[in-house]
Chains A and B, each alone.
Chain A
Amino acid sequence: MQNEGKQKIWKDYQKEIADDHYFYVRSCIRQNFFPGSEQTFLKILRAELNKDIFENPHHTTCSGIGYHSDIVPFDTIQTIVARQFALMTEAGYRNLAVSCITSFGIYNEIIETWKEFPNELEKIRNYLKKATGREFKIPQNVSHASDIIYKFREDIFARKKYSLTNHETGKPLKIVEHIGCHYAKMFPGKGVGGAEFPHVLVGMIESWGGEVIDYPERRHCCGFGFRQYLVMSNRGYSISNSKKKFESMEPYRPDAIASNCPGCPMFLDRWQYVIEEMEGKTYGQNGRGIPVLTYEEMAGLVLGYDPWDMGMQMHQTDVEPLLDKMGIEYNPDLKYAGKDGKQIGQVKMAGCKC
């Protein structure tokens, strides 16, 4: 009976994640900074898990960065989102797989708005019809891409080449997990574990052999803040909030930071470089930075994918300390090469220890 009670309580912190047939919508930030992660996600679903995931080239930005920097009105973003749903409907899909956390939050906000204000839904249907001639159905399931990797984490580990352990000592690697704010802070029921106990990254890390670090500022925002990063004179906000997290996690000696957000891994990566430039301070071991990775990169490393194929050379803070601990083989000479080893411009890394 006691277990049933607990199961009942925790049911509120679980979400339904569709198990196949996804319509994929990409992230603006991730296409710029982590395009290899999106490709890795598609590769894992198609080649490893044999899932059906469809992408329509006509889908666009959801306009979320514009909405959250307040230049895009609510009616406009609702109609752009309705258009994405129309593309999904026309392709015969009902399950949305969302690459971006900002978009994920927006899709949830809009669907919840339509439930509470049916007149809004009718208004937006009319706007979309008038603007594009399209009609749509609301998705049956909206899953963030990290939800899907979480759901299949054991299947992924069954195909592992490496684990999140130190290959010399066999001990679990200590990983900081950072959940994007818009994953579950607005709508806790839409995220695995809700806002209080987000489990989406914890589940992956623990299933793949790692150990999760709990630290005081674990749930603090990375500091993106939309307009607080977009405008140069506001960026003190962004770096200060990231720094607060670095200072808080440093005593726990993390081997890596993993995130499920588009912007967070970029900021947690780049601001380490800037703090080193400004103050000479680094937060990792042996005077290095803490490698920051996306959950797809983490999954790809476990599966034995080449780090440069996944785009890990696009990080400013070196990922090699993590690769070395995991015992992953990589070719340092090809890190900054182009396709098929083509020689392209070199990175001017003078003086950077990160």
Chain B
Amino acid sequence: MQLYEQLTQDIRFEEGLNSCMNCGICTAICPAAEFYDYDPRMIAGIVQSKDESQIEELLKSDAIWYCGECMSCKTRCPRGNCTGLIIMALRSLSQELGFFTESEKGRQQLVIKRVIGENIVYRGYCILPENLIPELHPEQGPVGEWIFENRKEVYKRVDANYCGEGTGALRKIPKESLDEIYQIFEITGGFERFDQIEHFSKLKARSMGFSDVDEEFTDYINHTYTTNNGKHNRP
């Protein structure tokens, strides 16, 4: 199946691209376009052209990973397009085909899967207090460090139910509920997406010279989490 045809199988693509006249209002409103060398108008133009080689290049590029999915473009487009939805379809296809490992920003999907993805399946939350390790989150500042180091007491102080049974903030999600989330991932293709990310990332890690002695590829993950080649922003 042609790449464009595969994109059209995604409802987000169908909803996100009606008919782009390349006016550029999406680029004008886009927070990503202000920070990165990124132009959502170009994204809409390329997919609308149905040019297979350009779409393949896009799927392998950093460009599709610059969007913050704030969806500000949706509000402003005079034709009702939404570049953010087009991006979601492109990112899904890029991961399905393994093209995401060809770009620095795309390779970051592994660390997101390992932290956010595994939190969702095995803990029932996207993020957890124990993820906010001060060395990895210096922006959380001295208060963030205080919360992290005293988290049981701090959460207790504000009537959260951290790791406790029953209702409340940060409660322990019951095992039977986590089992249901696991089954949902199994049946709906969630684990298939995870496996694709793991599979293609490991192939890439090996080709980049990262050792597979460590099955978790920790060095590769640290590399993708911290590397920024400095070429992503506007000159």
Partners in one complex: yes
Nearest 7 A/B pairs, CB to CB:
A225-B68, A35-B169, A36-B158, A35-B160, A76-B190, A65-B126, A131-B183
Task: Using CB atoms, name the residue of chain B closest to A55.
Answer: B167
Which of B17-25, B45-53, B116-124, B210-218 lies on the face that meets chain A?
A: B116-124
Closest Cβ of chain B to A40, distance in Å, is 9
* A303 interfacial contact with B, CB 8 Å: no
Contact with A along B63-81 (1 / 0, CB 8 A): 0010111111011000000
Whether B167 lies near A185 (C-beta < 8 A) is no
Neighbouring A residues of B144 by C-beta, 8 Å = 270, 316
* B173 interfacial contact with A, CB 8 Å: yes
Contact with A along B90-112 (1 / 0, CB 8 A): 01100100000000010011011
Whether B188 lies near A127 (C-beta < 8 A) is yes
**Which residue of A233, A240, A241, A314 is within 8 Å of B154 (Cβ)?**
A314
Chain A, 219-249, CB within 8 A of any chain B CB: 219-221, 223-228, 230-237, 239-241, 244
Which of A3-11, A26-34, A141-149, A158-166 lies on the face that meets chain B?
A: A26-34
Neighbouring B residues of A76 by C-beta, 8 Å = 184-185, 188-190, 193
Separation of A112 and B32 alpha carbons in the complex (Å): 26
Separation of A56 and B128 alpha carbons in the complex (Å): 19
Separation of A70 and B111 alpha carbons in the complex (Å): 12
**Which residue of B88, B139, B160, B193 is within 8 Å of A270 (Cβ)?**
B139
Task: Using CB atoms, name the residue of chain B closest to A271.
Answer: B139
Neighbouring A residues of B170 by C-beta, 8 Å = 31-32, 35
**Which residue of B108, B158, B181 is within 8 Å of A39 (Cβ)?**
B158
Chain B, 15-38, CB within 8 A of any chain A CB: 15, 31-32, 34-36
* B12 interfacial contact with A, CB 8 Å: yes
Which of A13-21, A203-211, A322-330, A341-349 lies on the face that meets chain B?
A: A341-349
* B231 interfacial contact with A, CB 8 Å: no
Task: Using CB atoms, name the residue of chain A closest to B173.
Answer: A60
Whether A60 lies near B154 (C-beta < 8 A) is no
Contact with B along A249-276 (1 / 0, CB 8 A): 0000000000000000000001101100
Separation of A349 and B144 alpha carbons in the complex (Å): 11
Contact with B along A160-192 (1 / 0, CB 8 A): 000000000000000000000110011010000
Chain B, 137-187, CB within 8 A of any chain A CB: 138-147, 149-150, 153-160, 165-171, 173-174, 176-178, 180-181, 183-187
Q: Which of B35, B72, B165, B224 has the most CB of A within 10 A?
A: B35
Task: Using CB atoms, name the residue of chain B closest to A43.
Answer: B159
Task: Using CB atoms, name the residue of chain A closest to B82.
Answer: A186
Using known A-B contacts A71-B112, A227-B108, A240-B35, determine if residue A131 contacts B184 with beta carbons closer than 8 Å.
yes
Closest Cβ of chain A to B46, distance in Å, is 19
**Which residue of A72, A185, A241, A316 is within 8 Å of B193 (Cβ)?**
A72
Task: Using CB atoms, name the residue of chain A closest to B223.
Answer: A233
Whether A57 lies near B166 (C-beta < 8 A) is yes
Instruction: Give A contacts to B, CB under 8 Å.
Output: 26, 28-32, 35-36, 38-39, 55-61, 63-66, 68-76, 78-80, 83, 105, 113, 116-117, 120, 127-128, 130-132, 134, 181-182, 185-186, 188, 195-196, 219-221, 223-228, 230-237, 239-241, 244, 270-271, 273-274, 308-311, 313-316, 336-339, 342, 344-350, 352
**Which residue of B116, B147, B178 is within 8 Å of A69 (Cβ)?**
B116
Separation of A117 and B13 alpha carbons in the complex (Å): 14
Whether A228 lies near B68 (C-beta < 8 A) is yes
Closest Cβ of chain A to B88, distance in Å, is 6
Separation of A78 and B68 alpha carbons in the complex (Å): 21
Neighbouring A residues of B178 by C-beta, 8 Å = 60
Interface size counted on chain B using CB atoms at 8 A = 94
Instruction: Give B contacts to A, CB under 8 Å.
Output: 10-12, 15, 31-32, 34-36, 65, 67-72, 74-75, 82, 88, 91-92, 95, 105, 108-109, 111-113, 115-117, 119-120, 124-129, 132, 136, 138-147, 149-150, 153-160, 165-171, 173-174, 176-178, 180-181, 183-190, 192-194, 197, 224-228, 233
Whether A315 lies near B143 (C-beta < 8 A) is yes
Neighbouring A residues of B116 by C-beta, 8 Å = 65-66, 69, 71, 230
Whether B188 lies near A225 (C-beta < 8 A) is no
Neighbouring B residues of A35 by C-beta, 8 Å = 155, 158-160, 169-170
Separation of A29 and B126 alpha carbons in the complex (Å): 8
List 30 contacting pairs A-B, 8 Å CB cutoff, sorted by A. A29-B126, A32-B128, A35-B155, A35-B159, A36-B159, A56-B167, A57-B166, A57-B174, A58-B176, A60-B125, A64-B126, A72-B117, A74-B12, A79-B184, A130-B183, A131-B183, A132-B184, A185-B71, A196-B75, A223-B68, A225-B69, A227-B65, A231-B108, A236-B228, A237-B68, A316-B140, A316-B143, A337-B157, A338-B150, A345-B150
**Which residue of A181, A182, A233, A274 is within 8 Å of B228 (Cβ)?**
A233
Whether A339 lies near B153 (C-beta < 8 A) is yes
Task: Using CB atoms, name the residue of chain A closest to B96.
Answer: A73
Separation of A169 and B82 alpha carbons in the complex (Å): 47
Separation of A236 and B68 alpha carbons in the complex (Å): 12
Separation of A182 and B72 alpha carbons in the complex (Å): 9
